[in-house]
Amino acid sequence: MSTSPPTPAIGGAPSAAHNKVVHELPLERPAFRRLKAYAFDPSLSQQLAHAAINEVTLKVPWEYDPKTGKDILTVGPVGEYLEVVDCDPASGCFYLPVDLNKPYLLANNGLSPAEGNPQFHQQMAYAVAMTTIMHFEHALGRRALWSPHRPEPAAPGDPCASQAGVAHQEWAYVPRLRIYPHGLREANAYYSPEKKALLFGYFPAYVGDVRSHLPSGMVFTCLSHDVVAHETTHALLDGMHRRFIEPTNPDVLAFHEAFADIVALFQHFSYTEVLCSQVAQTRGDLATENLLGQLAQEFGQATGLRGALRDALGGVNPQTNRWEPAVPDPTLIQTVIEPHARGSLLVAAIFRAFVAIYRMRSADLLRIATAGTGVLPAGELHPDLVNRLAAEAAKAAKHILNMCIRALDYCPPVDLTFGDYLRALITADYDLVRDDDLGYRLAVVEAFREYGIYPHDVRSLSVDSLLWQPSDPLSRHEPVLPGIAKMRQLIEPLALGADRAALHAQQEAACAMLHERLRQRVAELSGLGLNVDRLLRPDGQVSFEVHSVRPARRVGPDGQTLTDLVIEITQWRRGYFDPAIQDRADKADREKVVDPSLPPCDFRFRGGTTLLVEMHTGEVRYAVVKNVMSATRLAQQRAFRSGQAATSLRATYFSGLQEGKKEPFAFLHRFAAGEVSA
């Protein structure tokens, strides 16, 4: 009897006859999950000229738990940073969540763009928001955290009421930002600091807008790449600087808007394939930098929500019928107050710097292509040249985006102005790239100057004098902050890859520790820009807060990577609209007595300092100070706040609605779409 040869086992148990164990090679976890999205918004897919470039495949990180190695993205999508919950209360319904782990979807890079499929909406909102988060993490070299949840808002009616029982460390960790892709029935989308959520609206297109939208067809803000990136940026910025939503001067909210626009705009320029296609299509206009502005404007057009931004960058000259960049007007910054319009000035300044940088980076290419004549031959550009030019533009965009994000670590903790941001930009870049051989910093300073944006506390607009300074040169070499070694232990191991919950807990612990030590040894804080007398109030209230302690990476002069600690400490005193009452309150504070006849304060007047501390030596490299005792700043803030409060019918009828209930961004964004149809 002959034995038949053993059947090879495929995927089954190894044959006993051969007594051999077949090993399957372990599968490597994918680094990315590819997901399709609109590069702009659905309206472009209906335009022949743009349809081809309107679909991008975004590479978002494959989310897994570093401790267990398990994949964590589940239906929703719900992952490490985001949870998409598709609840539509205005329509009284919900939509089923997408499961991106279904094999068909994994094989197809997710669902294909479709306006009529809510699950694609969920996918796109997730993919674009994740892309934005990754840009932040790469620029900052640490993981992104959302602003913590405060259990109870401050007592309404008295902004200075004690918040006993709501100690800093009790603020709850919020692991995931929530995304509601269809949360509103209006032409609006906003970040809710209260709910830690992005709410996207949808609305019927206006009849007047037939060119790009079906009349009374639906416009979904969650399908606009820019809107999603913009709102996500609001949330990320709030996670770093939660006092930047307090409108204490005309620049604060404008900065929030501008920064969100900057991120959305430059994220577009990082999609090289989109750039290439546009460059080829417009046949070489890239030589004159106009194309970039024109592109930026088209990007804005598609989103349909940012009228002010478009106007700020330029427009078609009716006489020549050619697009021309806007001529910077340095006087506008004095008169334009509305947050979007004012913010667009900052965007325009940054964009001007970007164009200058691109020009420097591409000068050699153009010399080669034109054999030094500077005149490009007629006809289409060589595809290689197109690719190279687009690559340079993408690189410049990436650099400037990184610069803008990194500068956030160098901002004052409260009451930011555009001038402060310029100093932060320059200092942050100086810390990362000591040699400015490509002239990035010069380009930025020049562009800001052309828009009339400059800080008021420097002697000149040279790069040197714009760098932040340590507040007291004598304290440079002293380990001025108590417990720096302890803090180092808490903070140092935390970087990319660490568990975010642990990161949050450790940062909170560092804050609490520093707070406790400062309470006991307030005197040691002199020289850091804080008012030592005001750290504790006569009635026993603590009037300072260790706002954050976080690591920031920089490159040392010898090219080695160093880590700084960014420490933000804020303090406040009672602010009154009436200067006479203010004097009484200040007097009581000075004399350390409690004056029971004082009315509740009108607002908290905040000051504080951002310290950049060399982690190993404790050297305070920079102190970015907002003096809580500044009379000028108080006068400005008083004027600004009282002007803010009283311009609308809303102030007349709804003055008593709880402040905490209000959505600062909802009101800013609402009905802006009306401008587009006009």
Partner 1 sequence: MSAGPVSTGSPAVPILQAPAGGVTVRMYRQGLGDCFLLAFPTADPAQSYYVMIDCGVVQNTPGGSDRLNDVAKHIKAATGNHIHLLVVTHRHWDHMAGFNRAGDVFGSIQIDNLWLPWLENLADPAAQQVWGKTGQALAALTAAIARAPTALSHVQDLLDNFFGETLGAAAATGAAASSPMANVIQLVKDPGKVGYRKPGEGPLALPATGGTGVPSVQVFVLGPPSDPKQLAQMDPSSGAGRETYLLQQGLEAQLAFSLGRLPMDNMSEEEGRLVDFSFPFDPHLQITRGEAENIKFFRQHYGFDDGAPASASPAGESAATTTAAGGAPASDAGSSPITGASGAPGPGKAVTETDVPTVADAPDWRRIDTDWTAGAEELALQIDNVINNTSLVLAFEFVKSHKVLFFAADAQVGNWLSWNGLTWKRPDGTTVSSADLLTATVLYKVGHHGSVNATVIKLADGTTPWGVGLMSSPDLVALLSADHVIGLEQSGVWHMPDDQVRDGLLKQTKGRVIRIDKGVPQPPAGGDPEVWQEFLRHIQPDPATIQPYPPGTPDPKYPQEGRRDAVTPQPLYIDFNVIE
Give the CA radius of gyration of the chain.
27
Give the other-Cβ count within 10 Å of 68's Cβ. Answer: 8
Closest approach of partner 1 to the CB of residue 82, in Å: 11
Q: Which of 9, 96, 635, 639 binds partner 1 (CB under 8 A)?
A: 96
Q: What is the maximum alpha-carbon separation in the chain?
A: 114
* Span near partner 1 by CB under 8 A; candidates 88-96, 161-169, 435-443, 455-463: 88-96
Site map 365..394 versus partner 1, x via CB under 8 A? ------------------------------
Beta carbon nearer to partner 1, 202 or 544: 202
Residues linked to residue 32 through DSSP beta bridges, in sequence order: 61
CB of 114 to partner 1, least distance (A): 11
CA distance 435 to 432: 9
Tell me whether the omega of the peptide bond preceding residue 247 falls within 30 degrees of 0, making it cis: no
Q: Which amino acid is at 525?
A: L
Quote the least distance from Cβ 70 to partner 1, whole Å: 14
- Least separation, in Å, of the C-beta of 645 and partner 1? 9
Segment 117 to 156, residues that bind partner 1, using CB under 8 A: 117-118, 149
Task: Work out whether 65 is an interface residue with partner 1 (CB under 8 A).
Answer: no
CA-based torsion, 213, 219, 225, 227: positive or negative: positive
Interaction residues for partner 1, span 172-231 (CB under 8 A): 178, 180, 182-186, 188, 192, 194-197, 199, 202-204, 206-208, 215-216, 218, 220
> Do 513 and 490 touch, CB atoms closer than 8 A?
yes
Nearest to 406 by CA among 430, 442, 370, 375: 430
Give how far the C-alpha of residue 137 lies from the chain's centroid of Cα atoms, to the nearest Å.
Answer: 11
Does 71 help bind partner 1 (rule: CB under 8 A)? no
Q: Does 88 bind partner 1 (CB under 8 A)?
A: yes
Stretch that binds partner 1, among 94-102, 391-399, 418-426, 530-538 (CB under 8 A): 94-102
At residue 549's C-alpha, the angle toward residues 543 and 554, to 5°, is 140
326 contacts partner 1 (rule: CB under 8 A)? no
Provide the residue type at 257 as one letter.
Answer: E
CB of 539 or CB of 675, closer to partner 1: 675
Nearer to partner 1, 104 or 653 (CB): 653
- What's the closest the beta carbon of residue 374 comes to partner 1, in angstroms? 44
Query: Interface with partner 1 includes 595 (CB under 8 A)?
Result: no
**How big is the CA angle at 396 (ends 393 and 401), to the nearest 5 degrees?**
125
Is residue 579 within the footprint of partner 1 (CB under 8 A)?
A: no
Cα 526–532–534 angle (5° rounding)? Answer: 160
Residue 103 contacts partner 1 per CB under 8 A: no
Tell me if 99 contacts partner 1 by CB under 8 A: yes
Among residue numbers 332 through 351, which ones bind partner 1 (CB under 8 A)? Answer: 337-338
Phi then psi for 151, rounded to 5 degrees? Answer: -55, -45
* Subset of 613-672 contacting partner 1 (CB under 8 A): 642, 646-657, 663, 666, 670-671
Reading the block at residue 89, the tokens are: 């209360």
In terms of Cα–Cα distance, which of 112, 110, 85 is closest to 96? 85
485, 477, 488, 476: which is closest to 563 by C-alpha? 488
Q: Which is nearer to partner 1, 260 or 336 (CB)?
A: 336
